[in-house]
Amino acid sequence: MTQTDDLLRKILTETKVIALVGWSPKPERPSHGVANYLVRHGFRVIPVNPGQAGLMTSWGEAVRGDLTEIKEPVDMVDVFRNSDAVGPVVDEALANLPGLKTVWLQLGVRNEPAAAKARAAGITVVMDRCPAIEIPRLGL
């Protein structure tokens, strides 16, 4: 499926809860800045980082070690990991997040086999884009 502006607009207006895989507690890291931006724009962001799980909260959300720890509905998984790490993230998301609508891979992140697996399960996939760039670009 092509990543048209209409598709991106639909995703970003319908998404409410985002699990952000690869979140960093360091404010200078892109994953932290994007998560902060998304929270300021009304999204609920659940940070996922195995090294920080249980040690802290961010925006009132406990940091989770992986997607298996999330028991509430999630609309989107936003992935800040290397392209090679996307396959296991998608597998974990498909196995543990019923109702998931979108897998979003950040700038520079592409994994066609993982994307095909997600699409086969009815999940929309966005690759090599950043919601913090798309939201203002689309005027949302």
Mean pLDDT by 10 residues, the chain (140 residues): 88 98 95 96 96 80 95 97 97 97 97 98 97 96
- 3-state SS, residue 79: strand
Nearest CA among 89, 54, 56, 55 for reference residue 74: 89
Structure confidence at residue 27 (pLDDT): 93
Structure confidence at residue 1 (pLDDT): 57
Structure confidence at residue 56 (pLDDT): 73
Structure confidence at residue 67 (pLDDT): 98
Task: Give the residue carrying structure tokens 């966005």.
Answer: 126
Tell me the domains of the chain and their CATH numbers: 5-135 (3.40.50.720)
Q: Return d(Cα 122, Cα 66) in angstroms, integer.
A: 22
CA dihedral 126, 99, 50, 31 (to 10 degrees): 30
Structure confidence at residue 107 (pLDDT): 95
